[in-house]
Amino acid sequence: MWYHRIDGFTPLDPASIAAHAAAGERVIVQFGRGGYMDEQLAELNRLAKQHGRGLEIRFYGHYGEVFDGAVLRCLPDAMCVSIDCLSHARNLDALSHIENLQELRLGIFELDDAEVLAHCNPAPMKMLSLGETRKRNIDLGNLARFRALESLHSIGETKNIAAICDLPLLRDLSLSSFRRKDDIGFVSHLAQVVSLRLILGGRASIAALAAPALENLEIVRVQGLEDLGDLARFERLRHLKVEVETPEDFMMGKYDTAVLTASELPPPIRGRSGPRRARSSRRSRPSVPTTTRTTWPRRKPPRWRAPRPSSTTARTPSPPALRTWGQCSRR
């Protein structure tokens, strides 16, 4: 999906917004600071009602100030709202004034309101994204009320997360920055999940996970991962992406990506796990069939540094623009 971003403090052009929305783009009207105008919020609310989920209203930044959620009372017809990249926020109970909120993205690092999800109207909610918080205290038990939820992304939030097992329509699940001690066994009880992403965090094995309807599985830089288990247990698996790294590769900005699709390999797809190595050696990587595609990010060219002048003659080196990389001195 393509995105078209508009500064919320500039005059809104309804014709331009309609054109981008008609082209299939997501229009994002965003505010990076306070000082909203009532007239502009009223116009924005009218456009949000007209374009539905095609228009997203975003509040971010607000550096040096606290975001006041009371502004949400002026947007009762919004369907897609993002409140992210924020340090502090207050009056988030105003979320209850948005009656048809279908997409919500929350990312407030110093969030104190653990019951923030209780303020949302649960019936229309289809997509929910929870960003990183310092306390990791959002009560996910409130998710049991979100019976229409189809997609959930959570960064480190685990409190009462087993409540998502009661969501009958959940098909897309993304779990990011989950610690080794965090139990994710509840995934095996999600019979309707089609796509699962495990991002960052740490875990030695996912052999115990099973999801009968799973078609897409992505594992992105999960530290210490050694065992995928027998992937034949995912009977409908069509796409597997594994991106792993070692501490040495992390420092160099280098990592491995293996992409495996059902069109390339005959079923069943099986994963192998080798014996554990000594702690001092490189961690074993989950093995994948030899027919997978491996991509390496392009490494940055070495930084040019001026050579030290000799003790007898001090010469001024040429600037980097006049030298070639072959002449650069690397330490």
Q: What is the 3-state secondary structure (H, E, C) of the chain?
A: CCEEEEECCCCCCHHHHHHHHHCCCEEEEEECCCCCCHHHHHHHHHHHHHHHHHEEEEECCCCCCCEEHHHHHHCCCCCEEEEEEECCEECHHHHHHCCCCCEEEEEECCCCCCCHHHHCCCCCCCEEEECCCCCCCCCHHHHHHCCCCCEEEEECCCCCHHHHHHCCCCCEEEEECCCCCCCCHHHHHCCCCCEEEEECCECCECCCCCCCCCCEEEEECCECCCECCCHHHCCCCCEEEEEECCHHHHHHCCCEEEEEECCCCCCCCCCECCCCCCCCCCCCCCECCCCCEEECCCCCCCCCECCCCCCCCCCCCCCHHHCCHHHCECC
pTM of the predicted protein model? 0.75
Q: How do residues 41-83 score in pLDDT, each as one tens digit?
A: 999 999 999 999 999 999 999 999 999 999 999 999 999 999 9
Q: How do residues 291-327 score in pLDDT, each as one tens digit?
A: 334 444 555 555 555 555 554 444 444 444 444 444 4
Domains in the chain: ranges and CATH: 1-161 (3.80.10), 171-303 (no CATH)
Question: Which pLDDT belongs to residue 320?
Answer: 47
Question: Which pLDDT belongs to residue 244?
Answer: 73
